[in-house]
Every structure is written in structure tokens, then in C-alpha cells.
Amino acid sequence: MDGKNTTLQPVVHFCIILCIVLLTSLEANAHMWRRQADAGPGTTKNIAEIFQGRCHEHIQCLQTDQCNRRPKVINCTAIWIEFLGAFQHQNPCNTSADVYDDVLTMAVPITPDDQTLFWSGLLDAALNVARVSMQYRILEESLPGYMANQLVWCGDDDPASVDGINYEKCPEWGACENETSFRFWQAASREFSRQATGKVSVALNAHRDGGAFRNTSVFATVELPNLNPDTVTMVEILLVPDITSTEEGEKCGKGSIKELERRLDVAGLPWICTYDPLEFRYIQCTTLENPLEYKACRGDKQESQRAKEETIIVGAVLGGVILILIIVVAILLVQSCKRLTRLDDSQLMIPT
């Protein structure tokens, strides 16, 4: 027995040392973001008021198009307390995947049948289209997305911190794997995708570096795998080119879109792909200073109107020239007639 213990001792010691080294390096990694010069801004000031205010605004449908009348009673204060509890006094790079699950049970994202719109690489355009069009609803218009959109938040695990919230700096997006706001968006995106029914759409940036469909995006890693082929009848890929670019960008059936189409086939989800959808084209036009400088913003009607105007101008000029020619010829004819008459008269005047 004693002999066995003596042989096991070095192994046990080695295991203990290995565990200490691993834990220390994990801890060091979790704090790495603090040393990065490019750490992002800190938690949004007055986040508690903004978050709860947005919650009340949303459930009372004050921004009429961006809400859902819900049968369930929503308690905005309770949602905030749950949300705060997920990150307060904690290392922002050490967030577990399920920490926001209860928040999302209290604030479920809901979209009507056939209206769910995912996006990747073009938040502003998707948000603007969804706000003006009755056809599309995005996560940022649903209750959890509306409350959190554009907010920055992270905890502070320093025991000296009074409220456990870091208002100085938070990790940049992607600075660490288990980052707290990333965990929130992952969980919200998962729930948003699970509840989608009927036709769903995804707007992708045709000019995105590395391809419109990015394998590492939240859309590719969270939303797409959580679509339910029993309730989703069609996936509409909206491939949105940058209208100010001279290049056409990626096209349906090519490059990264081909990979997306393949993945949809594998998932048993029927799809259609549209390049340059009109809603996205015109929403981009509204953001330009001189939209009419771009052919994409003039539209077919204006183009044909312009062509019509040009034809009228050319016609008018030609007509004018012909009229002047006719007048000149007529004057010349009259003059030569007069000359002939005068000649005839002089011949008729025979001297006596």
C-alpha cells in the first residue's frame, strides 16, 4: 500500500502543478483584454434607465411599428435585474453560454409569420428597411434586441468596485471568446431564429470582404442552425450590393453564397436568392447626399423620363433647323420669283 502511494505521489504532484498552470493561464487570458490598448468604451452611462425605458416604450408600442402586442405581462424592472445579474461583479471574458437564458425567457423575441429578417454585414440598412417596411422584422425591433441595441455593458470583478459595473472600458467585440455582450447576442439570436415561421429572409452585404456569407458570423453559427425546417417554409437570400461601388460584388450561386445555398439544401430549407433587392437599394439612396448621381437611385421611371426629355430636346432642335431651312428656301424662292417677274416686265416694255 505504502509502495503504491510513493509511486503515485509524483503523478499527483504533476497533476496539481498542471492544474495550477492551466488555471493561471486561463485567468490571465480572461484579463488579457484589460491590457489591450484598443479595449472598447465602457458601459453606456445610465444603462439601467435606458434599458428599462426602452422596455416600457416597446411594450406600450410607442414606436408603433416596432412592437408586438403581447398576451404575457412584461415586468421591465424584473428583466433589468436579471440582465444586470448576468454580468455585474463578473469578469466580462468569463461568461457562460447560458447566463442570459432567463432574460430571454422573460423577454422573448417575437416576429409575425413570414416577416423575420436576419442580416449580416449591414445592420444600418437592415434596421432602416425593417423600420419603414411592413414586410420585415429584425431582432433589434423585438423586445430583447430593442432594449440592448447599440448598448455597451460589462462587469467589473475588482472587489473594490462598488456596483460591479465597468464604466471605463469593456472588451472589444471579438477580443475574447466568452465575452458578455457577445453571449447576450448569441442567446437572443438563437431565440429569434427558433421562433421564426413561414418565409424568413437574410440580407447579406454583397461587397463584404471575404464574402457575403461569413462562416464565423452569428447568422452562420447561431441563426442558421436554429431555423426549424418544419416551421420555416422558405429562406429568401437578399444580396445587397453597395450602390456607390463600381463593382457588382458577389452574386447568387457564386462564391460564399454558393456555400450558403449548399448549407440550406443540407438543412432541408427551400431558398430563393435575389441580387439587389429594391427596398435595400432605395434605402441606401435615401442616405446619400446626391442620390441622383447614382444610376441605381434614378430608377427605371426616371431613366425613361430622362430619355423622353432628351428625345423632345433633340426633336425640338431638329424641328427648328428644318423650319429655318424652309423659311430660307421660301424667301429665296420669293426673291427669285420677284426677279423673274421684274425681268418679264422689262421685256414687255417695248420702246415706242
Q: How far is the CB of 41 from ligand NFD (least distance, A)?
A: 10
Q: How far is the CB of 309 from ligand NFD (least distance, A)?
A: 42
Of 159 and 174, which has the nearer Cβ to ligand NFD? 174
Between strands 169-170 and 40-41, the pairing is antiparallel
Q: How far is the CB of 93 from ligand NFD (least distance, A)?
A: 15
Of 171 and 297, which has the nearer Cβ to ligand NFD? 171
Q: How far is the CB of 293 from ligand NFD (least distance, A)?
A: 27
Of 80 and 153, which has the nearer Cβ to ligand NFD? 153
Residue type, 123: L
Distance CA 159, CA 174 (A): 26
Of 90 and 205, which has the nearer Cβ to ligand NFD? 205
Q: How far is the CB of 270 from ligand NFD (least distance, A)?
A: 20
- Give the interface with ligand NFD as residue ranges (CB under 6 A): 118-121, 123, 139-140, 149, 173-174, 185, 189, 192, 217-219, 223
Of 166 and 189, which has the nearer Cβ to ligand NFD? 189
Of 155 and 211, which has the nearer Cβ to ligand NFD? 211
* Residues β-bridged to residue 254: none
Of 41 and 319, which has the nearer Cβ to ligand NFD? 41
Residue type, 156: D
| Nearest to 190, CA basis, from 220, 163, 161, 210 | 220
Distance CA 289, CA 131 (A): 21
Q: How far is the CB of 122 from ligand NFD (least distance, A)?
A: 7
Of 90 and 183, which has the nearer Cβ to ligand NFD? 183
Q: How far is the CB of 220 from ligand NFD (least distance, A)?
A: 7
Q: How far is the CB of 132 from ligand NFD (least distance, A)?
A: 18
Residue 26 near residue 110 (C-beta atoms within 8 A)? no
